[in-house]
Amino acid sequence: MSEAASTGRRLAQLAEIPVSQLERVKPRKAQALAEWGVTSVLDLLTTYPRRYIDRTRAADVADLAVGDEAVVFAEVRRVRGNRNPRGRSRVEALVADATGDLSLVFFNQPWREEQLSVGSQLLVWGKLTEYRGRRQMAHPVVDLVARVESGAVESRMLAVIPVYPASAKYGLTSWEIGTYVKEALERAGELADPLPHALRRRFKLRGRSEAMRAIHRPEVPADPWPARDRLVFDELFRLQLILVLRRRALERAARSIRHAVSPAEASPAGPPSSLVERFVAALPFELTGAQGRALEQIFADMAGPLPMHRLLQGDVGSGKTVVAVATMLAAVQGGHQGALMAPTEVLADQHHLGVRTLTGGLEVPDTGRLGGTRPLSVGLLTNKVTAKARARVLSGLASGDIDVVIGTHALLTEDVRFASLGAVVIDEQHRFGVEQRAGLRAKGRVGSADPDLLVMTATPIPRTAAMVVFGDLDMTVVDELPPGRAPIQTAWARGALEEAAAWERVRSEVAAGHRAYVICPLVEESERVVARSAVEEHARLSASVLGGLEVGLLHGQMPTAEKAEVMERFRSGALQVLVATTVIEVGVDVPEATVVVIEDAERFGIAQLHQLRGRVGRSSWPSWCFLLGEGGSEDAAQRLSALERSTDGFELAEVDLELRGEGTILGERQTGSSGLRLAKLRRDKEWILAAREAAERIVEEDPGLAGHPGLLEEVRFTLDEEDAAFLFKS
Ligand code: ADP
Ligand code: MG
């Protein structure tokens, strides 16, 4: 099982060689590279080409006709810069290949004169036009392939030219990076390959040295792809090893509470007796099959010997709140406490109200009076609560008089102490990191065992993406909506006519006794500016398209009591339309609402639109969602069309991933050396699964990676010290 120690340079060694040690990297450029985030030879080698240009497929200049768009490979023969009488700069370069020549023209880019030095070889992509009888391309895309340096043309003579993510800001061109990488590859020599041979064979992966060379300096156009597979696997495998090891370490280090709950309580057969059973029985509806299954898994975890680490995914409206509350109550019924942490104040407020409503009427044993009971007590802790309320909540949590607390990051502050925190639910919304999860778990440790942990995402993320971001958690999917929900018809209203139809629908639904939301444009500024624009929008609509209706206003700057009153009047029907900011994004639940109009919809992301839309369609009446807006960019148009096409959150999550890339899902979590530089969550799904399985298998056989010293070193090197100490503590 043990692998022969691989020779060659290890990543940790490459990380210790500063780029300034390369001969071609002059001090000024070393500085620029550092500012750009590249300080070591490893950083440089993992700065991968964005794309490749197949030089053999460049067109011949002589073959181009006016109007053609093409790539040509040409050399600069002459370059001239001047200014017209109004001070506008114009740079013209005459370029030629063996067949003919043409001019490249740039306005207001005086630096081109220096960039396009005579003798430089360029790849030029643009459209051929004719101006006063001269064949030219105006503002083509130019890649500098080789340039004259100290008199000699240094041509890299590659058939396939890698194009690097150049940085105009730091004055680094693709060409320069290419030359640095070339030197780095030469000087690095053979690279160590820690991947077990069996894995390489199984997935038909190239060796690391070969892959690194082929991705940077491919010889034929097909070269980079198998190389990419190998390097993608490296990244994902390392990450999955860490996640699997973390999971192991948590289990090993854990002191679990064996909660007094059983899976059967998710569907009480006889008369309800436990707190959880009474909660379920008192709900105004039956649990869906998916909710029941989720609770069975959760209760089994909670009753078991290892602390729960579970991710709860479910579409908007699938009823995750009920599952979260039942989880906390399962802890409470054994004499512990539950905490729910939300990412924002507004959400914490809403959850607080929601949880209070759901648990109204529930009684728990009163430890002060033998055989007596008292109402379940639910507290709120955010940075907005008054000092007095805060003191009360803190003492209630410390004494155990508060059973369930809802809060924000404020729950993580020093002075919060729990009598016995048994279950933690984090309403994640992609905003909390591993550290914060650990922070809240550690809270429960004071004098007791580890609380059980349930992480909820407000909107789904694709399964393989979840495996990367939440790979240290088990996963439960609530894959069913409560019965009788009528579908939501979504229309992107692009013009005045369609918009008029939207307002018409609002009026007819209100006339039928239903209610409508209007979501104000997203303003990327302070809460105060958002509030002001909402106030104006409310006035405008009340005086125009919504004239004669009872129109209310809700925004985040209103005092809590006033917000509650507005919601109450909307719920009761005293208000027919609610003009609101995104404070209603998550959690607001008024079944009679059947229309939502979202203004300037192009400003919102897919997940947020899907959440907002989820405020309707909460009953058996048909519902409508109107997205107002021109679409703006290509991207926005694709988002709005996706919403029109699908109401399935998992499907939309895939589209979102495709449109926006990993950034928003991975967030800050995967930065630094553990980051994925090459792997793409969407494109590399298969590799994610493969890496996961391989990581599990290896850790299963060799939990301390003692037989895989190369892998062990890379994992350690990727982690910070504290994390590494935790993972490999025996
Ligand atoms: P989300 O998963 O988006 O957080 P919620 O927990 O807000 O969804 O639930 C959406 C709505 O569905 C709420 O009105 C809730 O009361 C209701 N609900 C939850 N579970 C059921 C069920 N089993 N049957 C009917 N309605 C349900
Ligand atoms: Mg919710």
Residue type, 91: V
As given in the structure block, the two tokens for residue 185 are: 């590859």
Whole-structure pTM value:
0.76
Alpha helices by DSSP H, 360-476: 387-399, 434-443, 463-469
DSSP 643: H
**Which atom of ligand 1 is closest in space to residue 322's alpha carbon?**
6
Phi, psi of 581 (to 5 degrees): -85, -175
Domain range summary for the chain, segments of one domain joined by +: 51-163, 288-293+303-478, 488-646
Q: Which residues does 27 contact at the CB level (< 8 Å), separation at least 6?
A: 20
Q: Do 288-293+303-478 and 488-646 fold alike per CATH? A: yes
Residue 149: beta bridge partners?
152
What is the strand order of the sheet 309-314 is part of? 378-381, 404-407, 337-341, 421-427, 452-456, 309-314, 474-478
Lowest mean pLDDT among 203-207, 216-220, 621-625: 216-220
Report residue 430's pLDDT band, with 50, 70 and 90 as the boundaries: low
What topology is assigned to 288-293+303-478 in CATH?
A: Rossmann fold (3.40.50)
The Å distance, Cα 453 to ligand 1 centre, comes to 21
How would DSSP label each residue in 335-346?
T-EEEEE-SSHH
Residue 135: beta bridge partners?
130
The Å distance, Cα 317 to ligand 2 centre, comes to 7
Q: How far apart (Å, rounded) are the C-alpha atoms in residues 31 and 28?
A: 5
The Å distance, Cα 158 to ligand 2 centre, comes to 55
Residue 670 in this model has a pLDDT that exceeds 50: no
Ligand 1 atom 23, closest CA: 287
Give, for ligand 1, the residue of 285, 328, 594 to mutate: max count of ligand atoms closer than 8 Å to Cβ.
285
Give, for ligand 1, the residue of 481, 589, 608 to mutate: max count of ligand atoms closer than 8 Å to Cβ.
589
The Å distance, Cα 423 to ligand 1 centre, comes to 21
**Which atom of ligand 1 is closest in space to residue 287's alpha carbon?**
23
Residue type, 709: P
| Beta strands at 404-407 and 378-381: parallel, antiparallel or unpaired | parallel
Ligand 1 atom 15, closest CA: 319
The ligand placed nearest to the CA atom of residue 286 is 1
Q: Cα torsion for 272, 275, 276, 282, to the nearest 10°?
A: 60
- What's the chain's length in residues? 730
**Which atom of ligand 1 is closest in space to residue 589's alpha carbon?**
14
Report residue 295's pLDDT band, with 50, 70 and 90 as the boundaries: very high
The Å distance, Cα 319 to ligand 2 centre, comes to 7
SS3 169: coil
Give, for ligand 1, the residue of 288, 312, 315, 321 to mutate: max count of ligand atoms closer than 8 Å to Cβ.
321
The ligand placed nearest to the CA atom of residue 285 is 1
Residue 425 in this model has a pLDDT that exceeds 90: yes
Phi, psi of 313 (to 5 degrees): -110, 145
Mean pLDDT throughout 240-251?
A: 86
pLDDT attached to residue 150: 42
Residue 407 CA to its chain's centroid (Å): 23
pLDDT attached to residue 568: 86
Rg, the chain, Cα only? 31
The Å distance, Cα 619 to ligand 1 centre, comes to 10
**Which atom of ligand 1 is closest in space to residue 288's alpha carbon?**
23
Where does ligand 1 bind, in terms of residues with CB under 6 Å? Answer: 285-288, 291, 314, 316-322, 482, 589, 618
For the stretch 556-599, pLDDT in tens is: 788 877 887 898 899 899 999 999 987 776 556 788 999 999 99
**Which atom of ligand 1 is closest in space to residue 354's alpha carbon?**
7
Report residue 317's pLDDT band, with 50, 70 and 90 as the boundaries: confident
Q: What is the 3-state secondary structure (H, E, C) of 17-29?
A: CEHHHCCCCCHHH
**Which atom of ligand 1 is closest in space to residue 323's alpha carbon?**
6
Crossing angle for the helix pair 634-645 and 606-613, nearest 10 degrees? 40
pLDDT attached to residue 313: 92
Ligand 1 atom 9, closest CA: 319
Give, for ligand 1, the residue of 291, 293, 318 to mutate: max count of ligand atoms closer than 8 Å to Cβ.
318
For the stretch 462-515, pLDDT in tens is: 888 888 878 888 899 999 999 988 889 999 998 899 999 999 999 999 999 999
User: Which helix (H) or strand (E) element contains residue 70?
Assistant: strand 69-83
Ligand 1 atom 17, closest CA: 319
* CATH (residue range 488-646): 3.40.50.300
Q: How far apart (Å, rounded) are the C-alpha atoms in residues 657 and 683?
A: 10
Report residue 153's pLDDT band, with 50, 70 and 90 as the boundaries: very low
The ligand placed nearest to the CA atom of residue 351 is 2
Report residue 149's pLDDT band, with 50, 70 and 90 as the boundaries: low
Ligand 1 atom 20, closest CA: 319
Residue 566 CA to its chain's centroid (Å): 33
User: Which helix (H) or strand (E) element contains residue 12?
Assistant: helix 11-14
Q: How far apart (Å, rounded) are the C-alpha atoms in residues 141 and 71?
A: 9
pLDDT attached to residue 154: 43
pLDDT attached to residue 354: 86
Superfamily of the domain at 51-163:
Nucleic acid-binding proteins (2.40.50.140)
The Å distance, Cα 654 to ligand 2 centre, comes to 20
pLDDT attached to residue 290: 96
**Which atom of ligand 1 is closest in space to residue 291's alpha carbon?**
23
